Amino acid sequence: MVGRGTCCGRDREAASRVVRALTAAALLVMFGSALTGCGGGNTYNSEPTWSPDGSKIAFVRKDGIYVMNADGSGQRRLTDAGGGPAWSPDGSKIAFGIALPHPPGMA
């Protein structure tokens, strides 16, 4: 018997995350002309991630981290570097990673 809150014996939230990630990737392809129009030329967009409420998508472009509405509108750059955007549980913040240069004398 499949318990409540599961889907075919798997966690529904995990399945939902997969669907949202695939949908976000599809949106980046569908709205590619709008996305490249903001960056100029052949802009590479990657690492799409949905906000917890599904209203926004954060993604990475070579010149930083961006956020847009789920329909592809309202794009804006949040940072000028970084990658791996991750939303806070309440969707009010986005954490990200950034590579820092080594201090002088360190390998």
- The domain that contains 53 carries what CATH number? 3.10.450
Where helices occur in 11-100 by DSSP H, the ranges are 12-30, 32-39
Domain that holds residue 46: 9-84
Of 63-67, 90-94, 99-103, which gets the smallest average pLDDT?
A: 99-103
* Assigned domain for 15 exists: yes
Per-residue pLDDT for 9 more than 70? no
Alpha-carbon distance of 53 to 46, in angstroms, equals 20
pLDDT at 22: 61
Is 41's pLDDT higher than 50?
no
Question: Which amino acid appears at position 97 of this protein?
Answer: G
CB 44 within 8 Å of CB 62: yes
Domain membership flag for residue 4: no
Is the model more confident about 35 or about 49?
49
User: Is 101 within the bounds of a domain?
Assistant: no
In a domain, 31, yes or no: yes
Mean pLDDT computed over every residue of the chain: 74
Q: Is the pLDDT of residue 47 over 90?
A: no
Whether residue 92 is predicted with pLDDT greater than 50 in this model: the reply is yes
What does the pLDDT read at residue 15? 60
pLDDT value for 99: 81
Mean pLDDT of 68-96: 91
In a domain, 26, yes or no: yes
Residue 91 lies in a domain: no
pTM: 0.59
Domain count, the chain: 1
18 in a domain, yes or no? yes
Decide if 34 is inside a domain: yes
